[in-house]
Structure 1
């Protein structure tokens, strides 16, 4: 039996998680779009070094996770050693970098929509590589998502939106987004393998390990190559403090958002987290459309609704599977 008031407390915690994830990532999306399209200073310069955002976020999240481990860790051993994350760190460095770079070539709503189609490469890999057979409703979901993204990509973007992009190139932008999804798939698979081998690994351990290697790889990429752009990015921030402040807030939003995601998964499960993050993406597109002054056309909104109908149906199918599993366990 649930204690009196426990249900209300659980509902309040869930509302707190929803508010935290939505506010952190929606504002981060606004900052990301600002940094990729805005012209800073009297000379009207763009911040061209978007990959620097990944390095900055890795550093902030690394420090954040270390503090959380020191504050909240029970001191138990058995977690995955820090060096086990080196391979996942590679794909987790390259993938998000491609996703952010895509904003030079396509609009933020287009990027969010493209990255929402993660289920497509997952199902393709499952069918072609592992011979997994999916149900008819699951294929309906993938058709809605793939169809919506494809139609959105083929529609003509307004000249006002194109003028804000650094280097308009839709095929390249969408290509980078889908490569981002492919690398994310490898990252998730590697993380699952680590969790299986080291079941006592906490969310903070994962956050620390991933961001440690991400920091190392991004430092090498941004400052180690002969034509490294990290120094130019730092110089740009010195000349334009407004951009530096936006980058700091962008990273802080990422760290706070990860905290709420971990809290949601630990208290309510991954399905609840998927539902919250999926609806957040839809709201991000709405907010971007309103704040950027570039509203989507009726046809574009129909594509957005098509994609999120497919994603919502997928969430519903997962919920039904979870209900069946719970009934079997109780029987």
Structure 2
């Protein structure tokens, strides 16, 4: 189990670190002499979901399973796909009004709505040590990412900064709903990871296609990539890392449950910042090293006490 866990966690860490660096470069950077910004979130996510869907089809055929897929009610899949998509859209859109570090800190609180929704919707109970581990890891990540405004001007407030914070709150809420519904589906129908990934991305692709058509962003997006061809490679790389990383996340969800998956995805945010430190030459402060200790100590505790996660997280 330890080798399997390390393989899945390592895949999530490395792929999403690269994904985050490319995402920040695309959405927060500028293109051309006119310093044009990329603001086409819906077409970007549409390209990403197409990659995810194609990758899921490839993995399903590669597995060559003789058993038939589990039949999951369409209502479940459409609802999960919608909340999953809304979590992504609101998170990406928030970057237009808040800084990237603020987004990371906010999304680091994802285990909290997962646990709340698990109790309210899934009627689940968690050991007290799970609460301590989640608080420890979230505190460590927040401590590492926090910077004083007088030292580094991270967040430039504007008239719309409140809207960005609302978008991040909505994204966290959708994360909690998605994880709660996913766990219920996996407990009741026991789908394979590639099957769930395939169905969710199929519906997300349909939702996004309609949204792009209604908003008219498609033509503006095509015009932008024609003016700035360098953005095409970034979009492709973001989509590839997201597709492969998503498959690892679904493996983690199926085999270890939503809370453990949330711990891993929260911790990888540290690796995202660590990659940024290496690439851009940032200097760590003592407070940030303390945050590193919190994060890794929390992860160690979760691995140590999570040897039988499914039994410990059964429904009441």
TM-score > 0.5 by shorter chain: yes
1:195 maps to which residue? Answer: 186
Aligned-partner Cα distance in 1 for 2:47–2:193: 20
Aligned-partner Cα distance in 1 for 2:261–2:119: 26
Match of 2:273 among 285, 293, 301: 285
User: Normalized against structure 1, the TM-score is what?
Assistant: 0.75
8 Å contact from structure 1 (residues 82, 209) kept in 2: no
Aligned residues: 309
Match of 1:117 among 106, 109, 124: 109
Aligned-partner Cα distance in 2 for 1:323–1:222: 40
> Is residue 93 of structure 2 the alignment partner of residue 101 of structure 1?
yes
8 Å contact from structure 1 (residues 20, 257) kept in 2: yes
Aligned CA RMSD, in angstroms, stands at 3.8
Deviation at 1:113, TM superposition (A): 3.0
8 Å contact from structure 2 (residues 87, 174) kept in 1: yes
Deviation at 1:28, TM superposition (A): 0.7
Deviation at 1:221, TM superposition (A): 1.6
Where in structure 2 are there 5+ consecutive unaligned residues? none
1:68 maps to which residue? Answer: 59
Partner SS state of residue 41, structure 2:
coil
Partner SS state of residue 190, structure 1:
helix
> Is residue 149 of structure 2 the alignment partner of residue 156 of structure 1?
yes
Deviates most, 150-159 or 181-190: 150-159
Deviation at 1:69, TM superposition (A): 2.1
Aligned-partner Cα distance in 1 for 2:15–2:214: 32
Deviation at 1:42, TM superposition (A): 2.2
* Structure exhibiting the larger radius of gyration computed from Cα positions: 1
Alignment map for 1:115-264 (pairs within 5 Å): 115-125=107-117, 135-144=127-136, 155-156=148-149, 159=152, 161-162=154-155, 171-199=162-190, 201-225=191-215, 228-262=216-250
User: Normalized against structure 2, the TM-score is what?
Assistant: 0.78
Aligned-partner Cα distance in 2 for 1:82–1:127: 23
1:4 maps to which residue? Answer: none
Deviates most, 64-73 or 31-40: 64-73
CA shift digits 1:149-191 (9 cap, x unpaired): 777668427555457x9x7966544443332222122112222
Deviates most, 202-211 or 189-198: 189-198
Aligned-partner Cα distance in 2 for 1:233–1:307: 39
Match of 2:27 among 31, 36, 61: 36
Aligned-partner Cα distance in 1 for 2:86–2:217: 16
